[in-house]
Amino acid sequence: MAKLYFYYASMNAGKSTTLLQAAFNYRERGMEPMLWTAALDNRSEGLPIASRIGLEADARRFTPGTNIYRESLAQHEQTPLACVLIDEAQFLTADQAWQCARLADEASIPVLCYGLRTDFRGDLFPGSAVLLGIADQLVELKAVCECGRKATMNLRVDARGQAVRQGAQTEIGGNDRYVALCRKHFREALAG
């Protein structure tokens, strides 16, 4: 039976790298993965999925209106899919997260989602909230805080490196806009 997996972590934990490694492993064995990423994340100048260590791959881009179930199933009918891999899964809508579950349950295609658990305020992203509730398997990837403890939070910073306390839930950025911290240092940065 296929499963729905949610690999979650703070920034800089290697989520995209792990996804790209999984895709490589499937292809090396002659199996076809289907890769997806959020259309609103347009930071990469190369291919849509790019890791900080330089790995990258082509992928379909989803928007809130994309029917991931239908499009993945259509591809599966043309070329059997070994799995569906989704980067930036925090940007899935609740319906899209359930579509991922349908792919596993009805089409027997494993779906591996990779994304942030929480935003810069410590609030769950809608896609992550649903995946945390329905995934067959939850896997936490580890990032490291500046103090050496496990980083679980994503602190948004301004151009001067100061903590940002307000704003839209989604603001695309990398190391220039976000710092992965443990909960203690996250709280201290917001209080300061």
Tens-place pLDDT, residues 46-94: 457 667 667 777 889 999 999 999 999 999 999 999 999 999 999 999 9
| pTM across the whole model | 0.89
pLDDT of residue 45: 52
Higher pLDDT, 141 or 161: 141
Which whole number is the average pLDDT over 92-116?
97
Question: In the beta sheet, which residues pair with residue 33?
Answer: 83
20 pLDDT tier (thresholds 50, 70, 90): very high
Domains located in the chain, CATH noted: 4-142 (3.40.50.300)
Q: Which residues are catalytic?
A: 88
The C-alpha angle with vertex 138 and arms to 136 and 142, in degrees rounded to 5, equals 165
DSSP state of 164: P
Q: How many CB atoms lie within 10 A of CB 65?
A: 9
Which ranges of 119-191 does DSSP label H, i.e. alpha helix?
126-134, 183-191
| pLDDT over 90 percentage in the chain | 66
